[in-house]
Amino acid sequence: MAPSNSRAIVYSAIVALGGLIFGLDAVLISGGVDLIREEFSLSDWGLGFVVSSPGLGVLFALLATGWFCNALGRKKTLLGIAFIYVLSAIWSAVAPSWWQLAAARFLGGLAFTSLSLGPMYIGEIAPSRWRGKLVTLSQINTVIGLSGAYFINLGIVAASQSDAPWIRSIGLEPDNLWRHMLGSEIPPALLWFGLLFLIPESPRWLMFRGRDAEAEAALRRIAPESEFDERLAEIKQGLDAESKNLPVLDQVYKLLKPGLRTAVIIGLTIAIAQQATGINAIYFYAPTVFKQLGFDTNAAFVQAAVMGVISAVFAVLALFVVDRLGRRPVVLLGFFWIIASLGLCAYGFSQAKYRLTETGVATLPAGLDVTLLSPLLGKPFDSDMAFKSALAEAIGETEARRHENLLLESSVDLPAGLIVGGILSFIAAFQFSVGPVMWILLSEIFPTSVRGVAIPIFHFVTGMTSYVVQFLFPVALSTFGAAAVFGSFIAIPLLGLIVLHFCLPETKNLSIEEIQAAFAGKSAIRSVQA
């Protein structure tokens, strides 16, 4: 990018840090799932509620986000979001009960709208030829946060196994590791909150609100002098004077008009299909999933960290190809790749066999009456749910859940390499395609007059889908087994692939105004060379 646009880069990079905080907030809990379940004696339903509570919080937040970002502006709304992240991280780390932990994480979920507002702001300040790359910064930072969370958790687990005096001096004990994991979000959240004071308000929003002089002043902070007149004319051209200050309900009604129906279909399809892949269930329960494969605790955390690295590598790769290959081919290829990867995982889990051995029983704590497991020794089981059900009948549901990982590790026989490869392939496909491109498309295909409502609406759809998947994942895993769960993740993405094949146009290198005109039928999407 030319040096003259360096300020746009800096402001975009600051706002995109919201993706990093989201990634940390969402995934740090993955390392403490088993510890939280044990400390608060949670059932599968209770565990699903605690882990998914941010997803419930974001649903409530998105109901008001459109109003806040249109009435108060993008900058003030982002500052409020950053402050909520800080409060949530502090409360989560010290929560004395499961319901306070759920409430603290619900509060953090109110801030998850950073995932949509960040790209919205960046899309409004970025020059059209660089919009794809700069909007993708949010997704890049999200996967950096995801990856960083796994490494933070791995580091905390490793440190807790050390006998160093300083480890004990900070209270890092095996039973409270999850508190240190969740508390590690506090410093970066505080940093992002402070940096947001440096960014200008969105010139498009200011112009939309009729504050033309302030809009021009803000634009001069972002655009080089040589591009100022062109950028200003582009903003004015895209703002329909009759649409300024539309009430929220009128903006929603405008989304249903013929000129935006195709955009709505695209937004709805990709918002549902993206999360129906089960991506957040895999991220939020990563160590638990790897323990299903027979990995011990340390190995499961290492595999989760590897998954984080794969996420980061392919998200960066997407940054370089999204403006070169275009949005349409990347999305279609991505969904096909995701479906194939999930199919590989489902097949691998369907081949699993379980047989309890004396060696596995010997690893159990001395306080447990292992004679109760004698009838199960050497008995074959064809599925994880059948094996877990037999354990629960033999020693009780509470004890079976507490020692489940040890027993799975020694009893399972399945193509672990095939399944790990499928999971990593799935993560790569998601981060290369629909992960970042969904937010690029949502920041491009809606006009300024309705974008403040449209993007939160489709983020709400994404959040609802994600919440349902996260909440039901532990229950589904215990009830139907891993093979059925991974197989179920294929259906909706397959339908989404078919719909998008017929209605998704190419928007690469088009200005927001050109895209709006195309959807409204005023012009055809032109072929643009990279």
Instruction: Tell me the pLDDT tens digit for each residue of 95-121.
Output: 999 999 999 999 999 898 777 788 888
| E strand or H helix at 503 | helix 491-503
Does the pLDDT at position 528 exceed 70?
Answer: no
- Looking at the domain assignment, is residue 130 inside a domain? yes
Tally Cβ neighbours within 10 Å of residue 372.
14
- Looking at the domain assignment, is residue 103 inside a domain? yes
- Looking at the domain assignment, is residue 107 inside a domain? yes
Q: Calculate what percentage of the chain has a pLDDT beyond 90.
A: 29
Same-domain status, 131 and 36: yes
Same-domain status, 339 and 444: yes
Distance CA 340, CA 456 (A): 30
Contact 42, 98 (CB under 8 A): yes
> How many domains does the chain fold into?
2
- Residue range 227-271, pLDDT digits in tens: 777 778 777 776 654 455 566 677 777 777 776 788 888 989 999
| E strand or H helix at 348 | helix 327-350
Same-domain status, 344 and 234: yes
How many separate helices (H) and strands (E) can be counted in the chain?
29, 3
- Residue range 260-317, pLDDT digits in tens: 788 888 989 999 999 999 998 898 888 888 877 878 777 788 888 899 899 888 888 8
Strand-pairing partners, residue 413, are 353
How far, in Å, are 20, 441, 530 from residue 262 at the CA level? 31, 12, 25
Same-domain status, 124 and 238: yes
- Looking at the domain assignment, is residue 527 inside a domain? no
Q: In sequence order, which ranges of 196-247 are alpha helices (DSSP H)?
A: 203-208, 212-222, 225-238
- Looking at the domain assignment, is residue 530 inside a domain? no
- Residue range 59-90, pLDDT digits in tens: 888 777 777 887 888 999 999 999 999 999 99
Q: What is the mean pLDDT of residues 488-499?
A: 94
Q: Calculate what percentage of the chain has a pLDDT beyond 70.
A: 92
Same-domain status, 279 and 388: no
The whole-number pLDDT of residue 519 equals 63
Distance CA 307, CA 299 (A): 12
- Which two three-digit tokens encode residue 364? 């159990």
Letter for the amino acid at 504?
L
Same-domain status, 506 and 388: no
Q: What is the mean pLDDT of residues 425-443?
A: 87
Same-domain status, 288 and 275: yes
Contact 267, 442 (CB under 8 A): yes
Longest Cα–Cα distance of the chain, Å, equals 82
Global pTM reads 0.76
CATH number of the domain where residue 259 is located: 1.20.1250.20
Range of the domain at 361: 353-413
Tally Cβ neighbours within 10 Å of residue 491.
13
